């Protein structure tokens, strides 16, 4: 819920969440030639406060002759609300949405993005720390605002380093193998050869051994 208080300010009566719809900006729909005619008439009459908001080139809202409470929402160089275009049943409408969480009791504001017609600039009295001093002039970037607009840094995922594993050096165990020592079974020595020769000579000469 919202309420207009003294001095033409709009106050939030309850906490408003970020992105929540706050109010619709409505008024009389006119075109560009009619805007030029009315501005000329306002200037001639000494009228300095008017509430003209462009929806499209051929559709402009003049909230001065008829409107709702949204026309009492003041400008700020560091606003807590913003305008958004929404298509409702084929018709483009202007809605005011919360740019951030707004606590109850805080004044509701948005950036008029004022289009200065002519050479004269209109002073801005929003009082924000980043106030540009004039309507239609881009607001100064303060450190706090820069932090809010700056996208959060991407989290770096640290790759876990694997701990070096200590491997035991295995000493090769020699396999049991049969010794290559030559066997003496069935082998012939020099003495055996000499005995065999003597036997052969005895047989040939008919001598008994």
Distances in Å between the Cα of 204 and the Cα atoms of 126, 194, 195 are 148, 16, 15
How high is the pLDDT of residue 97?
97
Distance CA 25, CA 147 (A): 30
Reading the block at residue 43, the tokens are 């200037």
Average pLDDT score over residue span 166-192? 48
Distance CA 16, CA 22 (A): 8
Q: Picking from 17-31, 64-78, 162-176, 195-209, which range would have the lowest pLDDT averaged per residue?
A: 162-176
Q: What is the dihedral of CA 196, 198, 201, 205, to 10 degrees?
A: -130
Average pLDDT score over residue span 158-172? 52
For 96, half-sphere exposure in the C-beta direction (CA atoms, 13 angstrom radius) is 26
Say if residue 177's pLDDT is above 70: no
Distance CA 203, CA 177 (A): 48
- Helix, strand, coil content of the chain in percent (nearest 5): 20, 25, 55
Say if residue 187's pLDDT is above 80: no
Query: Residues 114, 91: contact at Cβ < 8 Å?
Result: no
Q: 7: which residues sit within 8 A by CB, 6+ positions away?
A: none
More confident residue, 116 or 52: 52
More confident residue, 209 or 63: 63
Average pLDDT score over residue span 28-50? 89
Whole-number mean pLDDT of the chain?
77
Q: Picking from 45-54, 60-69, 105-114, which range would have the lowest pLDDT averaged per residue?
A: 45-54
| N-terminal to C-terminal alpha carbon distance within the chain | 145
Q: Which range is most confident: 42-51, 70-79, 107-116, 146-155?
A: 70-79
Q: How confident is the model at residue 184 (pLDDT cuts 50, 70, 90)?
A: very low
Question: pLDDT tens across 68-127, in order?
Answer: 989 889 999 999 999 999 999 988 999 999 999 999 999 999 998 866 555 567 888 888
Q: Give percent of the chain above pLDDT 90.
A: 34
Cα 173 from chain centre: 62
More confident residue, 199 or 165: 199
Say if residue 167's pLDDT is above 90: no
How high is the pLDDT of residue 58?
85
Instruction: From 2, 7, 1, 13, select the one nearest 103 (Cα to Cα).
Output: 13
How high is the pLDDT of residue 135?
82
Q: Is 23 helix (H, G, I), strand (E, B) or coil?
A: strand
């Amino acid at each position: 819920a919202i309420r207009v208080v003294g001095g033409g300010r709009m106050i939030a009566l309850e906490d408003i969440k970020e992105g929540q719809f706050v109010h619709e900006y409505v008024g009389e729909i006119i075109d560009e030639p009619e805007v030029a005619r009315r501005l000329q008439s306002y200037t001639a009459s000494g009228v300095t406060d008017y509430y003209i908001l462009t929806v499209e080139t051929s559709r402009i809202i003049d909230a001065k002759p008829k409107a709702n409470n949204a026309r009492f929402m003041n400008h700020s160089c560091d606003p807590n609300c913003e305008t958004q275009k929404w298509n409702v049943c084929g018709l483009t409408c202007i809605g005011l949405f919360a740019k951030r969480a707004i606590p109850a009791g805080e004044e509701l504001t948005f950036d008029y993005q004022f289009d200065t017609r002519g050479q004269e600039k209109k002073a801005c009295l929003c009082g924000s720390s980043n106030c540009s001093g004039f309507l239609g002039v881009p607001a100064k970037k303060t450190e706090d605002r820069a932090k809010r607009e700056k996208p959060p840094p991407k989290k770096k995922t640290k790759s876990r380093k694997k701990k070096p594993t200590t491997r035991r050096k295995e000493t090769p165990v020699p396999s049991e193998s049969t010794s290559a020592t030559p066997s003496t079974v069935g082998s012939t020595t020099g003495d055996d050869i000499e005995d065999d020769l003597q036997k052969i000579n005895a047989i040939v000469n008919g001598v008994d051994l």
